[in-house]
């Protein structure tokens, strides 16, 4: 009787999706517990048999809560082995919390650089736990999708659980602030000026003193600063070149002087990088230029190019975990969100999920990884 009722319910949802929306997406929430994760994979596979999906997002990073698994990769491999076409499965490999499942999945892009979730799409959030309700509710309220939750299992919240899943939806109505806090300060760009360290996060500017004892957060539109001339509503990617950035907005590149804020004339991707795989135009997250070499990072790859005249010529494509010794497991294969070069020490630092990593380029090794100990303040 329960199976019949479930079948009727899903049939109704399926018909609603087909007639009202052009695309249907499954979002599977990961877990650091292998047994829990495998259970969620099986739930997703059962749903896939009775519902047609255009895309599937598997969300979960590496080493969350000290685990020894990469959640998205494990989900991808098992789904592929079960017969789901790999081209419709997209790995979101940053998330280490339920909030981050929401934050990073909502903006995940396909190989063409287009967001997988679009307003008007139907999104099924899949789990064996009731946190799927909160993620579905936030997607529907703030991202313009028709969200459904699909939950099986008997997992119950523990008395020691500190996370209030209802608070995920109702605790913060400013979605930009919710996203910024939930990423644990994952910056898009980092720079220093006048004894302050600046972290750009979307359209927010976080400012800290070198000792991390004084903080401020403000809307960049209210800040007369070096980035005031940028269109921050666009998805910008920063390549640090010491005294300036080379900024990619998905269509054009442009240089920006860190001190004066002076912008250069827009130019094409191939005027910077030649002979590289075309996919890098859509997959590049960040990068840096040092000693005549260009290093670019995507979610899973590292690109290296050498300067030749006024261009950089493609040399090799690898992954950070293969190229740099002691690359931390929790950072995946190359998963970097921002890169910065200290103008005085020339030290290269990489940022993601409230951590900062220092590189030794000559030795091709990771010098250290440490927490980015910053606090959020009201603004």
Residue 357, SS3 per DSSP: strand
Please give the Cα distance from 297 to 285 (Å, whole number).
Answer: 6
pLDDT of residue 131: 92
Please give the Cα distance from 245 to 188 (Å, whole number).
Answer: 12
Does the structure show a pLDDT above 80 at 48?
yes
pLDDT of residue 154: 78
Mean pLDDT to the nearest integer, 111-140: 94
Does the structure show a pLDDT above 90 at 193?
no
| CB 64, CB 96: distance < 8 Å | yes
Please give the Cα distance from 145 to 111 (Å, whole number).
Answer: 21
Summarize pLDDT for 346-374 with one digit per residue, the tens: 899 999 988 999 999 999 999 999 988 77
Please give the Cα distance from 219 to 282 (Å, whole number).
Answer: 27
Mean pLDDT to the nearest integer, 180-203: 86
The crossing angle, in degrees rounded to 10, of helices 98-105 and 175-182 is 120
Cβ within 8 Å of residue 222, ≥6 positions away: none
Residue 243, SS3 per DSSP: coil
Summarize pLDDT for 63-73 with one digit per residue, the tens: 988 899 999 99
pLDDT of residue 8: 38
Dihedral angle sign, alpha carbons of residues 31, 36, 38, 40: negative
Residue 150, SS3 per DSSP: strand
The 8-class DSSP code of residue 265 comes to: P
Q: Where are the alpha helices (DSSP H) in 222-354?
A: 280-283, 320-323
Please give the Cα distance from 306 to 273 (Å, whole number).
Answer: 9
pLDDT of residue 223: 54
pLDDT of residue 17: 42
Please give the Cα distance from 371 to 369 (Å, whole number).
Answer: 7
pLDDT of residue 39: 96
Going by their DSSP bridges, the two strands 311-318 and 273-274 should be labelled as parallel
pLDDT > 70 in the chain, percent: 91
pLDDT of residue 190: 93
How many other C-beta atoms are found inside a 10 Å radius of the C-beta of residue 334? 24
The phi, psi pair for 205, rounded to 5°, reads -120, 120
Does the structure show a pLDDT above 60 at 279?
yes
Alpha-carbon 293 to chain mean position: 25
Does the structure show a pLDDT above 90 at 4?
no
Please give the Cα distance from 356 to 336 (Å, whole number).
Answer: 10
Does the structure show a pLDDT above 60 at 2?
no
Cβ within 8 Å of residue 324, ≥6 positions away: 359, 364, 365, 366
| CB 353, CB 180: distance < 8 Å | no
Please give the Cα distance from 293 to 2 (Å, whole number).
Answer: 62
Q: Give the tokens for residue 117.
A: 């979730």
| pLDDT range class, residue 14, cuts 50, 70, 90 | very low
Mean pLDDT to the nearest integer, 109-125: 94
Summarize pLDDT for 218-237 with one digit per residue, the tens: 877 655 566 767 777 778 99
Summarize pLDDT for 58-104 with one digit per residue, the tens: 999 999 888 999 999 999 999 999 999 999 999 999 999 999 999 99
| pLDDT range class, residue 180, cuts 50, 70, 90 | confident
pLDDT of residue 176: 84
Dihedral angle sign, alpha carbons of residues 289, 292, 296, 302: negative
The phi, psi pair for 143, rounded to 5°, reads -120, 5
The residue count of the chain comes to 379
Does the structure show a pLDDT above 70 at 183?
yes
């Amino acid at each position: 009787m329960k199976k019949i009722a479930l079948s009727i319910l899903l049939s109704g949802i399926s018909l609603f999706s087909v007639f009202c929306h052009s695309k249907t997406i499954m979002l599977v929430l990961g877990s650091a517990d292998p047994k829990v994760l495998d259970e969620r994979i099986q739930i997703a596979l059962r749903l896939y048999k009775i519902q047609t999906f255009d895309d599937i997002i598997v969300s979960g990073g590496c080493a969350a809560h000290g685990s020894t698994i990469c959640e998205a990769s494990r989900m991808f491999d098992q789904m592929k082995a079960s017969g789901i076409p790999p081209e419709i499965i997209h790995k979101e490999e940053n998330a280490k919390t339920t909030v981050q499942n929401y934050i990073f999945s909502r903006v995940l892009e396909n190989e063409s650089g287009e967001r997988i979730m679009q307003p008007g799409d139907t999104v099924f959030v899949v789990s064996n736990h009731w946190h799927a309700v909160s993620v579905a509710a936030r997607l529907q309220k703030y991202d313009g999708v028709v969200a459904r939750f699909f939950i099986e299992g008997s997992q119950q919240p523990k008395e020691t659980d500190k996370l209030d899943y209802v608070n995920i939806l109702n605790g913060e109505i400013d979605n930009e602030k919710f996203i910024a806090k939930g990423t644990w300060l994952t910056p898009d760009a980092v720079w220093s000026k006048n004894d302050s360290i600046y972290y750009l996060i979307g359209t927010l500017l976080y400012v800290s003193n070198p000792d991390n004892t004084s903080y401020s957060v403000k809307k960049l539109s209210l800040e007369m600063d070096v980035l005031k001339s940028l269109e921050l509503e666009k998805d910008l990617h920063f390549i640090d070149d010491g005294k300036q950035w080379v900024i990619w907005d998905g269509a054009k590149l442009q240089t920006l002087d860190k001190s004066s804020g002076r912008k250069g004339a827009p130019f094409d991707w191939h005027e910077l990088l030649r002979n590289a795989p075309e996919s890098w135009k859509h997959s590049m997250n960040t990068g840096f230029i040092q000693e005549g070499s260009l290093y670019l990072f995507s979610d899973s790859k590292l690109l290296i190019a050498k300067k030749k005249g006024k261009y950089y010529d493609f040399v090799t494509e690898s992954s950070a975990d293969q190229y740099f010794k002691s690359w931390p497991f929790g950072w995946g294969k190359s998963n970097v969100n921002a890169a910065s070069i200290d103008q005085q020490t020339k030290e290269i630092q990489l940022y993601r999920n409230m951590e900062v990593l220092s590189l030794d380029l000559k030795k091709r090794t990771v010098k250290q990884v440490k927490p980015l100990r910053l606090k959020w303040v009201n603004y």
